[in-house]
Amino acid sequence: MKKGSIVALAGTAAGLAAGAVAERVAVRRKRTKDPEAEQELGQRRGARGRRTDLGDGAKLFIEETGPRSSRGVIFIHGSALRTDVWFYQLAGMGDHRLVFYDLRGHGLSQPRGKTGYEIAALAEDLKAVMDDCTLEEVVLVGHSVGGMIAMTLCMNHPELMGSRIKGLALLNTTYGPAVETLIGGASLARLERLTRRPFDALGSHSSRIDRLRRVIKPSDAMFWAVAFAAFAPGASAKHIDFTYDMVAETPTDVIFDLVKSYRAFDARGRLDEINVPTLVIGGVHDRLTLPSASEYLAQHLPKSELHILEDCGHMSMLEGHAEVNGLLERFFDDNLGRPRKQRGSNGG
């Protein structure tokens, strides 16, 4: 090898090594200066927890906090997450009854059962949670795909709107195929259509991929990838690590099946059917569901209120938890009424 080539290779290697060191230093600095560093994310549990059988082999984990009441709120998390993502909401909000559950195949909702991951099927799971909790009046709070599930329940069961479903809160969610409202959506949508067959074939090897994922250690590059995709600049390192851990612990077959289910979701022509009050929350820095998707929802839902949060990406319930909780609690009060305990009476 020529001397010049050796020097060039050495220079490249030195540059990569310096970049890796700089990256590690940057991650370490972000973690040491994190105001959320002391939060025990994933360690908070509801006051009451149980599992309910869906009849197809699936069992859903449900936990709740607040008074036992026929009025309450159900929180639906996004794909590859679990109830733990509602850490700042699990602490309670205005003495409302709050219900959280893991989507089938996520977190403690095991086994996943025989039913597929079509959004309509997941909407029926949500209805089963409503019935299991004997909620006569409910507000649905959906994050990302959770919002798609909540909207689908309303569209497929119009008899529930107004009578039982009193309102929706849609956090960082979209109105159509999710790939179209990602950053670079038009190009990605074309690429996704071209790669569907090999993608689906890859999903058939999910057990092998799971084995590979178990031996891959989290890296600084993965940290920054999650930070870029799901969070605003300056986000808490604790929140980023926590989100990565939830995604990493979700079975591969669940992730592949959910991604396939997004293709068929399209509510664009039916949003006017959702005639209950709707709180729409987006993030200026959301790259997984662009803020324009939240704006579209607010423009086409008949009774909507829009808030685009300045310092949030896709994980607004973590990043902007104080502001989000304030908006949610007011929305619950407006559409469920203030819990009786707040008016000086006992009970819920």
DSSP string, 191-258: HHHHTHHHHHHHHTTHHHHHHHHHHPPP-HHHHHHHHHHH--TT--HHHHHHHHHHHHTS-HHHHHHH
CA distances from 35 to 239, 321, 347 (A): 11, 13, 37
Are 150 and 261 contained in the same domain? yes
Residue 347 lies in a domain: no
Residue 346 lies in a domain: no
* pLDDT exceeds cutoff 70 at 284: yes
* pLDDT exceeds cutoff 60 at 340: yes
Are 7 and 130 contained in the same domain? no
Are 1 and 148 contained in the same domain? no
Are 235 and 298 contained in the same domain? yes
Residue 38 lies in a domain: no
Q: How far apart are CA 189 and CA 182, in angstroms?
A: 9
For 94-106, write each residue's pLDDT tens digit.
899 999 999 999 9
Are 224 and 287 contained in the same domain? yes
The overall longest dimension of the chain from CA atoms, in Å, is 86
CA distances from 229 to 30, 185, 243 (A): 17, 13, 11
Residue 65 lies in a domain: yes
Amino acid in position 96: H
Q: What is the mean predicted confidence (pLDDT) over 39-67? A: 95
- Please check whether residue 84 is in contact with residue 77, taking contact to mean a CB–CB distance below 8 angstroms: no
pLDDT of residue 179: 77
Residue 277 lies in a domain: yes
* pLDDT exceeds cutoff 80 at 138: yes
β-strands 59-65, 98-101: how paired? antiparallel
Are 287 and 178 contained in the same domain? yes
Tell whether the torsion through CA atoms of 4, 9, 12 and 13 is positive or negative: negative
Are 110 and 198 contained in the same domain? yes
- 301: domain CATH number is 3.40.50.1820
pLDDT of residue 15: 40
pLDDT of residue 42: 93
pLDDT of residue 253: 86
Band (30; pLDDT cuts 50, 70, 90)? low
The residue that leads in pLDDT, 70 or 183, is 70
Structurally, how many domains does the chain consist of? 2
Residue 168 lies in a domain: yes
For 180-229, write each residue's pLDDT tens digit.
877 655 554 554 455 555 645 555 656 665 565 565 656 677 888 899 99
Residue 43 lies in a domain: no
Tell me the pTM.
0.85
Are 108 and 255 contained in the same domain? yes
* pLDDT exceeds cutoff 80 at 49: yes
Residue 56 lies in a domain: yes
Domain that holds residue 133: 48-341
Q: How far apart are CA 179 and CA 9, in angstroms?
A: 39
pLDDT of residue 24: 45
Are 24 and 59 contained in the same domain? no
Are 21 and 165 contained in the same domain? no
Are 170 and 24 contained in the same domain? no
Are 54 and 29 contained in the same domain? no
